[in-house]
Amino acid sequence: MIDKTKMEESSIKPEVVIGIINLVILLITAVAAFIAIGINQAINRKRATVEMVLNHNQNAQLQEANEAINELLHSQQITSLSANDKKDSPERKALLKVLNAYEFIANGIKEGVFDKQLYKRMQYGTVVRDWEAFAPFVMHLRTQVQRPTLFQDFQWLYKEFKKQPLKCLHSDN
């Protein structure tokens, strides 16, 4: 005959089963919440990136600064703006305004506020072109003012973009 007390001891009590089920439900809910938070953060990062690019493109002062330095870029006189006697020139102020805007964006990307891949798809050519044009000025300015960290995040962004260039999504065949 089977001992009834041994059978009762070996069976799982309903309270334990309910506790395990509650724990599993709690874990599933927590995982779902973390996934939802991650998705929401990614969406917000992309939204912030699009808004930043739109604001950047619609900023009248920044557009004026870009126009002011475009002539200098084509004339190859950009490095001369790093000289001390050009400190208060409108061209240098315009160039610094543009560089500061890029530094802000690059810092935001580095800190995860803006989405790097989305910004890359939207602005790759402009970032690469502008860093390559501005680099002589930046390098000379760094030595002039003895601040090797000037615009280092913009330079970092350029290097990141150049490491993995934008890929062509279509074929002209």
Three-state secondary structure readout of 63-117: HHHHHHHHHHHHHCCHHHHHCHHHCCCHHHHHHHHHHHHHHHHHHHHHCCCCCHH
pLDDT of residue 85: 84
Does the pLDDT value for residue 2 go beyond 60?
no
Does the pLDDT value for residue 137 go beyond 60?
yes
Report the percentage of the chain scoring pLDDT > 70.
Answer: 90
For 60, half-sphere exposure in the C-beta direction (CA atoms, 13 angstrom radius) is: 0
Handedness of CA 42, 45, 51, 56 (dihedral sign): negative
How far, in whole angstroms, is CA 30 from its chain's centroid? 28
pLDDT of residue 53: 87
pLDDT of residue 38: 87
Confidence of residue 10 (pLDDT cuts 50, 70, 90): low
Does the pLDDT value for residue 95 go beyond 90?
yes
Q: Is residue 23 within a helix (H) or strand (E), and if so which, with residue range?
A: helix 14-58
Give the contacts of 113 (CB within 8 A, at least 6 positions apart).
45, 48
Residues, the chain: 173
Measured CA to CA, the distance from residue 133 to residue 131 in angstroms comes to 5
Measured CA to CA, the distance from residue 9 to residue 152 in angstroms comes to 69
